[in-house]
Amino acid sequence: MKHSKQKKLEAAIRKNLPLSLRKALYFFLNFNTEYPNWRLKRKILAYLRENELFSQKCDCEKNEIYLFLKNNGLSFFPYEFIKNYNQNSISVYFDIDCDMYYVLHENKRLYFKTNWTEEQVKEYYNSLLIEQDIDSPHRYEYGTFRVNNDIVADIGAAEGIFALSVVERAKKIYLFEADASWIPVLEKTFEPWSNKVVIVNKFVSNTNTDNTICLDEYFSVEKVSFLKADVEGSEIQLLQGVQKLLSQGGLKLAICTYHGQNDSELINDFLIQKGYLTEFSKGYMLFLADKNLSAPWLRKALIRGTSRFIQTK
């Protein structure tokens, strides 16, 4: 009986209230349960207002973020450029031979997992395009900092979009990916370049075990000249395992710094101590996936490092 009355009430609301009022009513009734991000948004805006925007060291980038959040809500990349992307405009194709969907990324096939739907592919690929936009804080290459006939180590390759973008400019590429479900995807995507792409299904760290690999030992003979890393917060451990590579000279690094609250400072200090010139990517990232996210809320997403030393042979 209670369920029946509820359905009649809902029908009456739909019939008698305009859509705008229905949305407002729903928001009010579910304010504390369905919209926790609304409260987080208020906290972030208040912090930026009180500690950043009106301080003597006002950061114009943070002012831009403040206006975006105020007008649009929370986003990993709180910038206007994300509005240039629409997942519904993405064309997805199906390869019947391998039972995988793929998209054409820079006229090259980028494959996705066999159990994914077309909508999942669109949503995921759209997020990748946003992530590597020229104005994105997460963009690996920028200006003259780019792959140019380098031996590339892509650590945390996932679907392989970065490697696919540079595969024709790279001398050789090593893809390290710990998630076994991505391996057949990478094998299919890089099938046309199998002569120059090596796929390693291990977690990169500072030790060698059955499941982990230390890059200093893996590359004891061949010298990497471009290293990109996105390893879900284990970047420091990874760097501790590349002491020899860091000292060989001629190495370019693009390392994610947003997974932990203090990662940007720790990684920057580490690289400077190793004699590297460092520069953070422009802008900030709001890493909403971190359940421990707290003030100052915004994090630098990526650091680019260049060795001061000439590469040794």
DSSP characters for 28-63?
Answer: HHTTTTT-HHHHHHHHHHHHHIIIIITSTT--HHHH
Higher pLDDT, 205 or 184: 184
Residue 263 domain-assigned?
A: yes
Residue 194 domain-assigned?
A: yes
Percent of the chain with pLDDT over 70: 85
Residue 187 domain-assigned?
A: yes
Q: What is the CATH number of the domain that holds 199?
A: 3.40.50.150
DSSP characters for 170-215?
Answer: -SEEEEE---GGGHHHHHHHTGGGTTTEEEE-SEEESS--SSEEEH
- What does the pLDDT average to over 208-231? 90
Domain that holds residue 30: 20-74
Tell me what pLDDT residue 16 has. 59
Q: Which of 74, 107, 137 is the last residue of a domain?
A: 74
Instruction: Give the span between the Cα atoms of 45 and 66, in whole angstroms.
Output: 6
- Same domain for 163 and 115? yes
Instruction: Give the span between the Cα atoms of 288 and 146, in whole angstroms.
Output: 29
Mean model confidence pLDDT for the chain: 87
Residue 280 domain-assigned?
A: yes
Burial of 66 (0-12, 13-18, 19+ CB in 10 A): buried
- Same domain for 105 and 54? no
| 30 band by pLDDT with thresholds 50, 70 and 90 | very low
| 277 band by pLDDT with thresholds 50, 70 and 90 | very high
CB 235 within 8 A of CB 256: yes
- Same domain for 136 and 252? yes
Residue 4 domain-assigned?
A: no
- As for how many domains the chain has, the answer is 2
- Same domain for 139 and 249? yes
- Same domain for 51 and 198? no
Residue 142 domain-assigned?
A: yes
* Distances, alpha carbon 118 to alpha carbons 26, 57, 85, in Å: 31, 46, 17
Residue 179 domain-assigned?
A: yes
For residue 174, pLDDT over 50 is answered with: yes
- Which two structure tokens, joined as six digits, stand for 228? 């990109």
- The pair phi, psi for residue 251, each rounded to 5°, is -100, 135
> pLDDT tens for residues 60-71?
788 889 999 999
- Same domain for 49 and 141? no
- Same domain for 129 and 57? no
Residue 10 domain-assigned?
A: no
Give the DSSP H or E segment for 255. Answer: strand 252-256
Give the DSSP H or E segment for 237. Answer: helix 235-240
Neighbouring-strand partners of residue 210 = none
The alpha carbon of 10 is separated from its chain's Cα centroid by a whole number of angstroms, namely 41
Residue with tokens 């057949």: 184
Tell me what pLDDT residue 220 has. 86
| 6 band by pLDDT with thresholds 50, 70 and 90 | low
Tell me what pLDDT residue 36 has. 60
- DSSP label at residue 282: S
Instruction: Give the span between the Cα atoms of 282 and 272, in whole angstroms.
Output: 19
- Same domain for 114 and 221? yes
Tell me what pLDDT residue 308 has. 77
- The pair phi, psi for residue 200, each rounded to 5°, is -125, 115
| 18 band by pLDDT with thresholds 50, 70 and 90 | low
- Same domain for 137 and 165? yes
